[in-house]
A and B are shown apart, each in its own frame.
Chain A
């Protein structure tokens, strides 16, 4: 059974940091591009960041560039998102995903909630 299990969310003050993790199982993690996608309360979906299969190439939405860092550990089947200089507008449910827009499979975790407030 495929699982993507996010952790690391929580409450943090503006300017603070959090490190999200996503533990993958049930598929060959090291074969795939992985993504972080977020959803602010009552809002739509927003792509945050992507990382290629071996971690050598990373991509970020303009809204988080310079503040967030994506990484992966293929030996531990784990995806990370280091979030620094957090802002109120970063408050959202953060999903880890392997997307299947071009071809299957498509996997999503259940999300971890990040709340930034003073």
Chain B
């Protein structure tokens, strides 16, 4: 099974900061990777699909990059509504979620 190693597991940041979250796959997955945001009590919401495509309606401060085994989600300027938990998800072979990154207010 493909393993997804997501880091960091948590981070503290201030409004306006640039935030980077990474996911590493245990084998190549092409660009079959998505990034999700989850807020407490809510279902996950997709931000990025196909590794780097911005989902319609998602602010442009979110961006994704990478292919193969190494992927990055970047928030260019953190906003108050961005404090949440973020997950990567691969669907190259079955599905595997990363362990999550909780973004907290510094």
Contact = CB atoms under 8 A, between A and B. Distances in A.
A102 B32 contact: yes
A59 interface: yes
Nearest to A99: B91
A105 to B, nearest CB: 9
B19 interface: no
A108 B38 CA distance: 12
A44 B1 contact: no
A60 B44 CA distance: 21
Contacts of B36: 45
Interface stretch (B10-18, B20-28, B73-81, B96-104): B96-104
B81 to A, nearest CB: 19
A62 interface: yes
Interface residues of B, number: 25
B49 A106 contact: yes
Given A44-B97, A47-B95, A101 B43 contact: no
Contacts of A108: 43-45
B43 A44 contact: no
B56 A111 contact: no
Given A45-B44, A108-B44, A111-B43, A50 B100 contact: no
B101 to A, nearest CB: 10
A55 interface: no
Contacts of A110: 43
A116 B38 CA distance: 24
A111 B55 CA distance: 22
Contacts of A29: none
27 contacts: A44-B97, A45-B36, A46-B97, A47-B96, A50-B94, A50-B95, A59-B94, A62-B1, A99-B91, A99-B95, A100-B49, A100-B55, A101-B32, A101-B33, A101-B46, A101-B91, A102-B32, A102-B49, A103-B50, A104-B46, A104-B55, A106-B34, A106-B49, A106-B55, A108-B45, A109-B43, A111-B43
Interface of A: 35, 37, 44-47, 50, 59, 61-62, 95, 99-104, 106, 108-111
